[in-house]
Chain A
Amino acid sequence: MYSRAYKTIVSAPPLFWVALFLLLPYALMFAHSFWTVQDGVLDHHWNLGNYQKLVANPLYAEVLFRTMRIAASVMLCSLLLGYPLAYYLSFHSGARKEFLYQLVIVPLWVSYLVRGYAWKTILGSEGVLNGFLQYAHITHEPVSFLLYSPFAVILMLTHIYTPFVFLPIYASLEHIPRPLVEASEDLGASPFSTFFRVILPLSMPGLLAGATFAFVLSLGDFLAPLLVGGSSGTMIANIVQTLFGAVYDWPLGAAISVCILLLTLSLLFFTQRLEKRWSFK
């Protein structure tokens, strides 16, 4: 048994950290969302005005739904890319496993911004992709929907978050005892059947974790829409950023943040329940 003093000393730093950098900011945000700004001055009078504004103006709901659509698309695309990649690496890559694993991880070392600007260069009207399309005579003038659209945001976020989806799925696939796969084939299941009856169910915790990563990280992203989204690709975080910056309406921004936070927390709660349902150890 550890002494009480030891326990106190050990747990003090993390508790201090959590209090200072998590609980305090959240408390401030929560409080702000019930205040208002009058002529650039914060009015500490408690009211629900900000939330009423959010409900009254359809613009907010529209952007929020677009954000969720984009996040869901990113989640789906990165699952469709990340799962087969992880499956191949874990089960069929043989001696190339280590090397391919590094290849998947390397993009994580490159700055988010650099990758964002790279997509700008690729998708722009003077960009690499349009240049190729015209060179190959597929189009005769630059295609404009590539850049500054929800499509561009989804593309960029998928590129950025696929490794985050790949990693937990890969980890859960690596944890599947290989004799289970042999047992399945031994009992007469084709590789296809084995995948859907054994491998997929046993990798569900990883798949859920990856999906949650992609969705939650996309939901709060503001750089991708800023760089490649244009006006039609604006997401909810851009609105929060504008409210905190240019507009100087911290209370309204805080109210939106509280909404996003509640959304994210309920989502995490839900996926955690699902993950428990799918873990068997």
Chain B
Amino acid sequence: MSSNAIPQPALVDANTSLLEVRAVAKRFGAREVLKNISLNIAAGEFLTLLGESGSGKTTLLRLIAGFDLPSGGEIWMSGERLDTLPPYKRRVNTVFQNYALFPHLSVRDNVAYGLRVQGAPKKEIPARVGEALHMVKMTEFASARPSRLSGGQQQRVALARALVNRPQLLLLDEPLSALDANLRKQMQSELKALQREIGITFLFVTHDQEEAMALSDRIALLRDGALEQVASPREIYAHPSTAYTAQFIGQTNLLRGEIRRSIATCGVLRWPVEEADGPVLFSLRPETIRLCPDGKRQTHEVKFRGNIRQQIYGGSSELLEVDSGDGQILRVRLSASGPLTGEHDFVFSIADLIRVVD
């Protein structure tokens, strides 16, 4: 699946594009890490590169930052070719995975580093550093050495150190992955608020789909060095174009079946379709299936009788693993309603079936 086949939200058009990645490829020896990546990022957008480890997301980030050179293609920012510039001449700053704070400098000097090396007026520096530290709530730690700080605090300093330079584009390489779960949730919401407040374009790399959903304006899903789908979180969840996307973003049931004479058949499930004959694959989200206590279905619904194999309690909701009788296990998410066992009737709407490709 290439990115240009996917409808892009109105947010992105050629005039407001800040960054353009044009047919970029990267090879390390014989290994093709990125294949023909084209991607536009709009000014002020929060775009997340999502993918498994080894999908090439960090490599793409490093190409944009300038730490590696692309093997093919071009990168442009604000009408200027970026990929031919050394990293220190790009108006791009990075928040590194393990923060990469300078251990021999205080928090204050870490944040001032970019301003100093770029020769900002000496009088301006303390005020801008103070402002950046205030923004990330680290003012009281200005004189501390990074080794004295906790992971979350180092994270804030790394953010301030990058933002103080007022970059056009901020790159964030799995910045929250080293934090524990609670702190991570808190930093997520702070990060999102901060991005909205300062309006700088964020390009965020993560392997955590929940994090991507929570933060992003758009998600670019990478798979084996190619873009699988680029869309807003809602779009990508509601209309995954491939089976891989449907499984990677949230949970889903994949129904593999056959269409013959306008009837789709998948095990015991049958429903009318308006498509040509042949094999098909559908994605059906667990929360679109529900219990049908009276056994009656509407015309646009599909009903089946299922045997509950397992029930996993998740607080506000529960996940059932239901055997539809033909050996096919369907996952069903219900709002928590107490223990269930045995056979029950379930229904789902035909409209919730999303046709996907392998």
Contact = CB atoms under 8 A, between A and B. Distances in A.
8 contacts: A180-B100, A182-B100, A183-B96, A185-B87, A186-B66, A186-B67, A187-B114, A189-B88
A185 B100 contact: no
A278 B145 CA distance: 13
Given A179-B97, A182-B87, A191-B88, 5 more contacts: A186-B67, A186-B94, A190-B117, A280-B104, A280-B145
A139 interface: no
A184 B103 CA distance: 12
A22 to B, nearest CB: 35
A187 B161 contact: yes
B104 A179 contact: no
Contacts of B161: 187
A185 B86 contact: yes
Contact of A186 (B65, B98, B102): B65
A183 B102 contact: yes
A188 B88 contact: yes
Interface in B77-117: 86-89, 92-94, 96-98, 100-104, 113-114, 117
A47 interface: no
Interface stretch (A58-66, A196-204, A211-219): A196-204
A28 B65 CA distance: 65
- The CB with the most chain A CB atoms within 10 A, among B87, B118, B165, is that of B87
A168 B274 CA distance: 75
Contacts of A189: 88, 113, 117
B104 A201 contact: yes
Interface in A156-183: 177, 179-180, 182-183
B114 A202 contact: no
Nearest 9 pairs of A and B residues by beta carbon: A187-B114, A280-B103, A179-B100, A189-B117, A183-B100, A188-B118, A185-B87, A185-B88, A186-B94
Interface string B103-140: 11000000001100110000000000000000000000
Given A188-B165, A201-B104, A280-B145, A179 B96 contact: yes
A281 interface: yes
A190 B113 CA distance: 12
Contact of B147 (A186, A187, A188, A281): A281
A18 B252 CA distance: 71
A193 B87 contact: no
A190 B102 CA distance: 16
Given A184-B113, A189-B117, A278 B88 contact: no
A187 B113 contact: yes
Contacts of A201: 104
A193 B86 CA distance: 14
Contacts of A185: 66-67, 86-88
A191 B103 CA distance: 19
Contacts, number: 73
Contacts of A184: 102, 113, 117
A182 B96 contact: yes
Interface of A: 177, 179-180, 182-191, 193, 197-198, 201-202, 278, 280-281
Contacts of B65: 182, 186
Interface of B: 65-67, 86-89, 92-94, 96-98, 100-104, 113-114, 117-118, 145, 147, 161-162, 165
Contacts of A187: 88, 93, 113-114, 117-118, 161-162, 165
Nearest to B92: A186
A81 to B, nearest CB: 25
A186 B104 contact: no
Given A180-B102, A202-B103, A190 B88 contact: yes
Nearest to B146: A280
Nearest to A189: B117
A180 B86 CA distance: 16
Contacts of B92: 186
A190 B116 CA distance: 12
Contacts of B93: 186-187
Contacts of A197: 113, 117
Contacts of B165: 187-188
Given A188-B165, A201-B104, A281-B103, A183 B94 contact: yes
A173 to B, nearest CB: 14
A177 to B, nearest CB: 7
Given A188-B165, A189-B88, A198 B114 contact: no
Contacts of B86: 185
Contact of B87 (A180, A186, A278, A280): A186
Given A280-B145, A280-B147, A188 B114 contact: yes
Nearest to A179: B100
A180 B67 CA distance: 12
- The CB with the most chain B CB atoms within 10 A, among A177, A188, A191, is that of A188
Contacts of B162: 186-187
A189 B86 CA distance: 10
B88 A186 contact: yes
A79 B165 CA distance: 36
Contacts of A280: 103-104, 145, 147
B96 A198 contact: no
A280 B145 CA distance: 9
B22 to A, nearest CB: 22
A206 to B, nearest CB: 14
A202 B147 CA distance: 14
A197 B97 CA distance: 22
Contacts of B96: 179, 182-183
A189 to B, nearest CB: 4
Contact of A198 (B66, B97, B102, B147): B102
